[in-house]
Structures are given as C-alpha cells and as structure tokens.
Structure 1
Amino acid sequence: MKTIKFISKDRKGLVEAIPGDYITLPEDSNEINSYIYPNEINNEIYYIIEVSPDNINPLNFNGVKIGLQLYFKHLQENKLNFCIQFIGFESKADFFLDCEYALFLKCPNVSYLQINLDFKINLPSEIGCVNKQEATDLLKKINIKPASSYKTHHSISNEWAISRWSKYLGLKTSIDSEIEKSLYFQYLKTIYQIHEVEQKNNFLISEGHLLLIDDEEAKGWNDFFKKLKLSTSKLKIESIGSDFKKEVSKNDVIARCENKIKEFKPQTIILDLRLHDSDFEEENPTELTGFKMLKIIKEEINPGIQVILFTASNKVWNYQALKAIGFDGWITKESPELSIDPNYTQKVIRELKVQIDFCQKRASFLIEISDEIIKLKELIKKNNLFESEKDETRKKFFSNFNITFDLLEKATQSKDFEKYFNYAYLQLFLCIEEFLVFKNIYEYGDKCYLNHNVKVAVKIGDKKWGSAIKYIEGNRNTPSYFIYQTDNENNRLNPKQTDFKMSCILIFFFNQENSKFLDWPNIRDVRNQKAAHPEKSIVEEKEIFQLIKFLKYIFNSKNIQVPSKDGLKNDITL
C-alpha cells in the first residue's frame, strides 16, 4: 500500500512519522495533476490530506478540492482501490457547516479525522474497492458549480466541445489545460463517465468559401475548422466574432457580419445564435442576433447561401421548424451529457463534415440561381411590355420566380426530391407561356398578329392555316423548328401552340432566320418530353440555366427589334 500525504508546510510534523511520500499542498489546488499523475495511479493509495491549507483563510478548503480531483481521477481511470483521509482542526460537525463540499464525506472510502491531542492515524491493513456507481450517485449530490466566468450552459458546452473536437483532430487549444484543471469539468467527466477522445482524421473535401460566425471563434473554433479541411483542399475558411463581446450593440454585430459576408462571399455560413451578450438574457428566439442575421442572409443577401445552425443550446430542435425559419442544417456543440455516448464526438464531427460538404455543393448551384433570378426581375422591372394596373403582371412573374427557387431548394435536398427539378422547369417555362398571352406580344384569332401589325397566321379552312413561317420536321438527331418563309399552307399548324408563338417572336421580334436561336427547340422538348414526365427522366441543372438564359434574352427590352421581315399580306390567297 502506498501512502501519500498532502499537508501544509508548517504542519509537516503532524504526520511525518507515517511512512510514505510527503507533498506540500500547492497554492493553486488546480496544480495537483502535475504532482502525482500518471505514475502513481496504478498503486493502492492511501491519501492523507489536510482540508484547510490556507493559513490566511481557514475556510478556503483547498485540500477538499484536491481530494475531489483525486477521487474523480481514480473513478475515471477505474483505479478503485484507494482511500482518502481528510484531517483538520475543525470538528466534523463544524466541517459540515463550513465546507460547501462537505457531502463528499458521504462517498465510499472518504473520511474525516479531527486534529487534537489524541490525534493519531491508523493505517488500514488493506484498502477496500470503491463502488463506482454508488460513488457517482453520491457525487451528484455535492454542490459543485462552474466557475463564475461561465455565465450559462452555452459557455460550458462551447468550451467542452472545442476541447473534445480539437483533440479528435490532434489539435491543442488554449482551453485544454483549463478544462483538465477545472474541478467542475472533471466532476462532469466523472458523473457522466466520459471517455477520452480518440484522435482520428475526417477531412472536408469541398471547395469554395466557408464562413464561421461565432463569438467564441478565437477560443479554438477557427483553428478547429481550418484543421478540419485537407491541407490540399481549395476550401477557404474565415471567421468573425472574437470582438463581439466588446462594447458593441446588436446592430453593430449584425453590420459587421453583413459586411464580412458581402466581402468574403461564402457558400456556407456556420452561424451561432447568441452572438451578443444580451442574447443570453433573451427569451424570444426570434430576437437573438443569430436569428436576425439569418433573416438578412436569406432575404437581403442571397437565399442560396447555406446556413448551418451551430448551437450550444440543449434545447431539442425540431428539424422542420429549423427548415421553416431558413436554416439548411444544424449541429449541436457537444455538451458533457452528450459525451456519455463514447462515439458521439466522432459521429457529430462526421455529421458536421457531411453537412458542410453537402451545403457547399448545394450553395454553388442555388446562389447562382438566386443571382440569375434577381437579374430576371430587374429586366422585367425595366421592360415596359410588363406595365399593368397595380403592377400585377410583374408581380405574377416575380411569384413564379420565387416558387421556382423554392422548388429548386427542395430539389437539391436529396435524391428523393429530384423530381422537383422538373417542377421548377415547368414553373419557369410558365413564364414563357404567360409572356405569349399578352396581346401586345401575340394576338390570336382567325388572323394572328405580332404587336398588332405583323400578320403571322391566317385561318383558311377547317384546321387549316396559312403562316409566315414554315415548319421543318425533326429527326432522331435534330429537333423540329421553324424557318422564315411566307405563304405556307399547313394543316398541321396550330397558332395557339407555344412553339409556333415563340418561333414567330424569335424570327420577327429578334430578327432570326429560324427558331433555333438560343436552342429554343431543345428548351421546348425538355419541357414536353422530360419536365412533364418526372417518372421517366429528371431535368438537369444545366437545362435549368439554359432556360434562364433564354428568359433573360427575351425579357430584355433592348433585344426586341422592329421587325425587318414581312408577315403575311392582307390579300394573300393560299
């Protein structure tokens, strides 16, 4: 049996006759780890510890804190053959009144002996094994609190997660030693029976820009995310938030974040909810600075930017509710109670990696789509063709664009939602169909006109029309199209069809020789043969962009020209 004595230097004589190692109590009880571990932990140990080594303040029970640290260490490492004998000048009753950790004496193999005239320590012949479950249950009854620097559970979880996740990547942080020395963190580690983190590699493989917005980024998060990517990766990572705790307002925090986003242009943002000190007092979640920032990102900057909620909150989040308010994913920072699962650290980091890689790829598409939709809206605003009472026409187009974006967001969620690419294509194509119903664009009747004065079709019999353009039959390799050729008779022609209308617009308004301009025949066929049949095939991203490019051209008033080609003559007879 090994005996170790911890006692203040001026009372060494009290137990110097007892064989064993004498260690002077450090002024800082957190330094105890450097005194005996790890070499002595494998032996049966009998600890003799003076409860109050501080002569100036005898109620400063540093010895008890040391005893707790030792007890935690033994339980964590399953070295259960040990005993702690506290000694002090106070009676046991006074000790219970004065020491905030007095309930520690209820734990197995812990006892107290008052120093008096009859003081004598009788070493046991053997040390019984501590019942770990009983010890853990009794430790939970001790009122061990976090240091006053930890204002909330958020702060505790944040540092706990930084430490464990960094260890997973083999990264040392400035808070590691603080956590190792902290009585509270060691208490949590013990009662939750948390295992040490095993170092592994799990790297990001995506490209682009990733932005972390977190008021604790300088404590280790910035280093963690940079370590998370491959050294050869083209992913660029930056962070903001370390100065948010200074005397700045919520509006200042939001303005700084907004400027950083516009400057850095990230595809994905890792966003903490509580970015300002006042957020910790806020009960309404929509008033949190992070929520306000989310709204600005999605409504004012670009809704295609992916935002992953990065929270230390232990609130149970509902996935659908998070999606409804605009988050594209979420990761909960690992708190001590989550670390009960020995695989949690690995699982949550793997999930973080998967979400970031997925969001980076998804954002590249959605951000570009959003930018293109903004350009389309601007073209429609400037085009006088869309003037109407209360601007209803423009509002209808804008609504179509917004629905299209929502459908594409859903389409990019997973393979299960790919059919929404088809729905989005149909929604965009609807803009062409609505464009063609304007009477100042195309007017249908027995005589059909463009812009009220260019006659492009005339009815000459039952289901028989004469037209100013000629239909060219397609084949397996080439889709059908129209060319400019007046005085054509065609009993297959239908001037109501979108293809005929759009071909007339391209040939006359945009002065093309045929309707193959901007690949219109392919756009038409994707709509009819692909988009309308999601059970058979899925519209591709490039086909969405092809349609948008077409819409941008025809909605641009600068591209519309005075027709230089003649339509049908009034006195034509076919």
Structure 2
Amino acid sequence: MKNIILVSDMMDNEYPLPDFFDKEKIATPNFDEEIDSAITNYLTNLNNKEISSITLPVNLSQNFLELSGIRVGHHIRLTKELKYRKVPLIFYGSLELETLAKISPLSSILFTPNVYYVNISRYSFEDIVKYINAISLSLNDFDFNKYLDFVRIEPPANYQSHHSVDNEIALIEWSKYLRCDNQIVEVKENLKNGLYFKYHSVLNPVESPETGTQFEITEKGNILLIDDEWEKGWKDFYNYFFHYSGQIWLDTLSIDFKSLSQTEIIQEAKNKIETFKPDVILLDLRLCDIDFEDELPSNKLTGIQILDIVKNINKGIQVIITTASNKVWNFEAAKKYGANGYIIKSGISNIKEDIKNLKTLIEEGLKRSSFLKIINQKLKAAIQCWDNYKIHQRRNLTDQMHDTLWHANLKLQIKDFLNNAFDTINNDEIQERFTISILLLYRVIEMLNEFFIVEEGTYFKKDISYKFDIDDQPVPRISFNTGNYNIETLSKGKTLSTKEKAYAIYHKYKNVTPKDLFKMINNLTEYRNKVAIHPDKRFKEESLEYLFENKFDDFKRIIVNHFNAVMNYVNSFN
C-alpha cells in the first residue's frame, strides 16, 4: 500500500519530502473549463496503484484563490470509478483552517470524515508522516453521506442556472437511450468529468435506462427547433431522433443566442417561422440572459413571447415546449398562450417515458397541424374579408330593439362564432370538439340567413313567404340534381331550408351558382342534421370523432370542406 503525495510540476522542489511518500507529479492545472477533464484523467491513471492515503497541497498553482488541490480532493471523493475514493486525504497549506473556509465553499471538504488539514507553516512533512501513522487508515468506517452533508458544490460559472445543467443532463440521458450519445462527445465528456456533474449525479442517482430502439414517425411535415443550446448537442440529437422518419424536414434557428438581445432573438424567430413555415415547433422557454432574472414574469420569457407570435401567425402551428423549467407558473403561461405540449428536459425522470411522450406529441402535432393550419389560414382570410364588408342597415325591422342590437352585433358575432369553432377543434380537452365545432359553424350560416332574409307569415297558417332585406325582392328556391341547378320562384306557403336560403343569398350577391360550394354546404347540412344534433351518434362510424381516430384522411378532407363551406359563404358578402 502506498502513501501518495501529489506535487505540481512548478512546486516539485519547494519542500524536501521524506521517503515515506510515493511522489506523484500532477501537471499544474489551467483553471478553465478543461480543468475537470485533466484532473479526472490524471486520477484515473492512478487507479492501478494500491493507495492507502493521499497527501496534497490545498493549491497546485501560483494562484492561491483557485484552491485547485482541494478541487482534486472533491474529484477523488466523487469519481465513482476510483478504487481509492474513500482513502484518507491529508491537505497541507500555510493558512489557518478558518481562513480557508472563508475563501471558497469547496473548503468544506476539510471538515468531512477521513480528511485532515496540516498547517505546513507550523508543522513539517515529518510531522505529517507521524500523523498518518497515528490515524486509522480503515476504509470501512468511511461514511460517504457525511461527506455529502458537509459539502455543496455550485454549478460552473458559465451555467446561468440549473436550467443549463438540467439541459445537458437530459441531453446525455436521452441520447444514451437512443444510443446516439457518441454524437455529442463534448457534452458527454463534460458530464463524465465535470466536478459539479459528478456531485449532481451522486445527489440524484439515475438508473441507466434500457436503451430504446430507433423508430419511424410516419407523419410528414416541417419541424423547427428553437433552443439556445442547439449547438451543444440538441440539433444532433434531433437529427438522429428523426433519422428514420423520411417525411420529416428538420430545421434549426441557427443563431448566436448569447450575442443577441431578447428583441433580436424574437425577430429572428419570427423571420424563420414565416420563411420555413413549420408544422411543429420545439421551443425552449429561456433563450437569453434576461430570462434568468428571478423577478421576470412568465409572460415576458422569450419563449412565451415567441409562442404568442406563432399563434398570431397561424394557430394551427403546433408548439411543444421543451424546457428544463418545472415551474408550475411557466407551465400555466405556456398553456394560456396556446402551447400544445410541454416536455420537461430532465435527466432524473423516467427517460423512456420522456422519449415516448416526445414522440407522441410530435406525431399528434404533425397530424393536427395538417388540417388546423389549412383551416386557420383560410379562417383569417374570411374574417379579414368580413371585417372589410360594410354591412347594410337592416330595412325590415320586425322587432326594432332586437333588430337594432342585432345589426350592431352581427359583425362581432360572426367573427366570434368562427373563432370559437376553430378554438373548439383545437382543444383536446373537449371530447366532442369536432361535432360541436360543426354546430358553431352552422350557426354562422343561420345568423347570416336570418339577417339577409326576412320571413313573413307563419308556418302554422301556411302563408310563410321570404324576401331579401336589401331590396324586398322574393327569395327563389335553388335546387340541384345530378349536377344541374334549377332556380324557381317560391310559391307562398312553401318553406326554405337553411341551406336553400344560403344558396339564394350567395346567388343574390355573386350571381353565380358554384357547384362545389353548394355541394359542401349540402354536406355540412347533412352532417349537422344526421349526426351533430343527435348525441347518440357522435361517436359512431359516421361521426368526425370516429373518423379522426380510424380514418384520418377522410376526416381531414371532410372537416376542411365543412369549414371551407362556411368561410366561402362569408366571403360572398365582399
């Protein structure tokens, strides 16, 4: 068994050493981000020696404040692969123990079991030899938990918060699961060798998850990654994540986040979204320095502001928040601003479930965006068209108070019902969201009919008649059979259905009878009458809810056509 003493190359001959020690030279460490790797490699090379004690100075360089020797001591304790990690450590230096404790929190190791400090200005190395011979060198009595109780190691200075730490831990653990960690060597080495990460892994032990198999996402679409850590490995991870998904096009907001202001980052993100036209966005919440301020409200986070912009561009774009933040108020803010999923990047959670949830959210996001983006784009155009339409003053006031209020509110009501119809199909928490959205859409047609067509008489007396409010001209019946349209004068007492009124209004304002549009209105009417108003049929084979789960292509075609029917009808007034 050897009693090792570590000496740096620049301090090799500073003190004469007794033969009792086996001297091991350690290169004077440069105190930069590589110091932990250098220390780890050095200590690993000592693993083939039978060591009973290690004596070392509190500092190995000329900069005393670095306390690099004490840092080596922590590495010895925290490096699981070292056979000698529990041996007694004897530190020597020229300052009082209390002074060392004030210089750095790392000095807390001096107060832990099996660690001793000798003030070399009062004692000699011969005294240290006597001291080592007098103490017990048994490793069985070493209590590692007491070491952990005394010490606290902070993240490296270049890490703004635990956000960055958790980011890297999640990255390596997720990459291990998919067996692509060899593609992020820098992060892998950092986690293996970094003092803080060793400390973190001891405090938060993670069982190595079973490695997963590579998978294929069968949906297709554009996916955009917005993450300030994209260069540290997240871009490589997602490239591998989608490696076997041939219909996925992945792009990254490849900017230098650290050099840009929050305003500049948001503008760069907006430009990228508008040009790349993503279907799904993987969005981090904290993207610049200001996001790490303790008092910053959640709605001022860069990621939340970008989320808000995304939903203003197109609500159908699916946004999955991928963040190391587990703060409930950030989750609530993301949900409020329209996030479609929330994944916490953590290396201490169930990695298998994290990856499974990520895959599911992306698949569902691509599926949803394939129809929601189309609908929302046309919805915005229809609402813009309706905003530009100068609605006429209603001429036939059957109920003056009611009609006056109706006239004032119709513009808002049409927009509200259109927006509510979209928000309903976009809300997974509503079980019958598709059918309910059809009822909201159909109410738009009904409201327009009620405003532009005046009904006189009663159904009971069979003297019902219809005229256009704008000019008091009679409303014709427009019907079609085998693709041919017939326009006929309506006899008094004969009634018009909702769809027939819509046909007549469209023909009145456009002077055309578009076959495709009228067919879509007819199909919408049939669904409303045969399924939507019958609760017992809403999950049967003919329902949109059933088609969404079992015949998605049919669902997508039908739901888009139903929305198009109403939006094209609204467009007819401009």
Shorter-chain TM-score category?
0.7 to 0.9
- Consecutive unaligned residues of structure 2, counting only runs of 5 or more, are 395-403, 458-462, 545-554
What's the CA shift for 1:255?
1.4
What's the CA shift for 1:14?
5.5
- Which one-letter code corresponds to 2:69 in the other structure? G
- Which one-letter code corresponds to 1:261 in the other structure? I
Name the SS for the 2:451 alignment partner.
coil
- The 3 A distance-change label for structure 1 pair 504 and 64 is closer
- The 3 A distance-change label for structure 1 pair 508 and 195 is closer
Could you tell me which residue of structure 2 aligns to residue 37 of structure 1? 44
1:120 matched to 2:125? The reply is no
Deviations 1:202-234 (A, max 9, x none): 546142111122222222222222221133422
- The 3 A distance-change label for structure 1 pair 384 and 233 is same
Deviations 1:93-119 (A, max 9, x none): 467556633331333333345551534
Could you tell me which residue of structure 1 aligns to residue 343 of structure 2? 331
1:56 matched to 2:62? The reply is yes
1:150 matched to 2:151? The reply is no
What's the CA shift for 1:152?
2.4
1:166 matched to 2:175? The reply is yes
- The 3 A distance-change label for structure 1 pair 363 and 517 is closer
- Which one-letter code corresponds to 1:151 in the other structure? Q
Deviations 1:535-558 (A, max 9, x none): 323234433222233234433438
What's the CA shift for 1:455?
3.9
Name the SS for the 2:127 alignment partner.
coil
- Which one-letter code corresponds to 1:526 in the other structure? Y
Distance in structure 2 (CA, Å) of the matches to 1:35 and 1:147 = 21
Which aligned pairs between 1:142-291 and structure 2 lie closer than 5 A? 142-168=151-177, 169-170=180-181, 171-195=183-207, 199-201=211-213, 203=215, 205=217, 206-240=219-253, 242-246=255-259, 248-281=260-293, 282-291=295-304
Name the SS for the 2:94 alignment partner.
coil
Tell me if the contact between 2:43 and 2:76 (Cα under 8 Å) persists in the aligned partners: no
Which aligned pairs between 1:372-451 and structure 2 lie closer than 5 A? 372-381=378-387, 383=389, 392-410=409-427, 413=428, 417-439=430-452, 441=453, 443-445=455-457, 446=463, 448-451=465-468
1:526 matched to 2:541? The reply is no
Deviations 1:103-158 (A, max 9, x none): 31333333345551534265689632255xx4234324324222222232323323
What's the CA shift for 1:275?
2.3
Tell me if the contact between 1:8 and 1:25 (Cα under 8 Å) persists in the aligned partners: yes
What's the CA shift for 1:373?
1.0
Deviations 1:15-62 (A, max 9, x none): 573476734354245212212427827x86424131245363455432
Name the SS for the 2:257 alignment partner.
coil
1:315 matched to 2:327? The reply is yes
- Which one-letter code corresponds to 2:519 in the other structure? L
Could you tell me which residue of structure 2 aligns to residue 68 of structure 1? 74
Could you tell me which residue of structure 2 aligns to residue 545 of structure 1? 560
Tell me if the contact between 1:279 and 1:288 (Cα under 8 Å) persists in the aligned partners: yes
Could you tell me which residue of structure 2 aligns to residue 462 of structure 1? none
1:104 matched to 2:113? The reply is no
Distance in structure 1 (CA, Å) of the matches to 2:214 and 2:417 = 41
What's the CA shift for 1:263?
0.3
Moved more, 420-429 or 176-185: 176-185
Distance in structure 1 (CA, Å) of the matches to 2:494 and 2:146 = 84
Deviations 1:149-185 (A, max 9, x none): 2232323323333333333333324333233332222
Moved more, 376-385 or 306-315: 376-385
- The 3 A distance-change label for structure 1 pair 7 and 437 is same
TM-score normalised over the length of structure 1? 0.78
- The 3 A distance-change label for structure 1 pair 70 and 194 is farther
Distance in structure 1 (CA, Å) of the matches to 2:532 and 2:449 = 20
Could you tell me which residue of structure 1 aligns to residue 570 of structure 2? 555
Could you tell me which residue of structure 2 aligns to residue 27 of structure 1? 29
TM-score normalised over the length of structure 2? 0.78
- Which one-letter code corresponds to 2:262 in the other structure? K
- The 3 A distance-change label for structure 1 pair 429 and 127 is same
Tell me if the contact between 2:2 and 2:51 (Cα under 8 Å) persists in the aligned partners: yes
Name the SS for the 2:536 alignment partner.
coil
- Which one-letter code corresponds to 2:24 in the other structure? Y
Tell me if the contact between 2:44 and 2:82 (Cα under 8 Å) persists in the aligned partners: no
- Residue identity over aligned pairs, in percent, reads 28
Distance in structure 1 (CA, Å) of the matches to 2:369 and 2:290 = 31
- The 3 A distance-change label for structure 1 pair 53 and 287 is closer
Name the SS for the 1:50 alignment partner.
strand
- Which one-letter code corresponds to 2:327 in the other structure? K
Name the SS for the 2:434 alignment partner.
helix
- Which one-letter code corresponds to 1:524 in the other structure? T
In the alignment of these two chains, the number of paired residues is 522
Could you tell me which residue of structure 2 aligns to residue 463 of structure 1? none
Tell me if the contact between 1:202 and 1:350 (Cα under 8 Å) persists in the aligned partners: no
- Which one-letter code corresponds to 1:22 in the other structure? E
Could you tell me which residue of structure 2 aligns to residue 495 of structure 1? 495
- Which one-letter code corresponds to 1:363 in the other structure? S
1:292 matched to 2:297? The reply is no
- The 3 A distance-change label for structure 1 pair 356 and 40 is same
- The 3 A distance-change label for structure 1 pair 326 and 204 is farther
- Give the CA RMSD over aligned residues: 3.8
Name the SS for the 1:548 alignment partner.
helix
- Which one-letter code corresponds to 1:406 in the other structure? D
- Consecutive unaligned residues of structure 1, counting only runs of 5 or more, are 458-467, 473-477, 560-574
Distance in structure 1 (CA, Å) of the matches to 2:28 and 2:249 = 46
Tell me if the contact between 1:370 and 1:405 (Cα under 8 Å) persists in the aligned partners: yes
Name the SS for the 2:116 alignment partner.
strand
Distance in structure 2 (CA, Å) of the matches to 1:185 and 1:195 = 15
Deviations 1:315-342 (A, max 9, x none): 23576654223221112222xxx62x5x
Distance in structure 2 (CA, Å) of the matches to 1:47 and 1:93 = 20
Tell me if the contact between 2:20 and 2:129 (Cα under 8 Å) persists in the aligned partners: no
- The 3 A distance-change label for structure 1 pair 26 and 548 is same
Name the SS for the 1:155 alignment partner.
helix
Could you tell me which residue of structure 2 aligns to residue 85 of structure 1? 89
Could you tell me which residue of structure 2 aligns to residue 352 of structure 1? 358
Name the SS for the 1:245 alignment partner.
helix
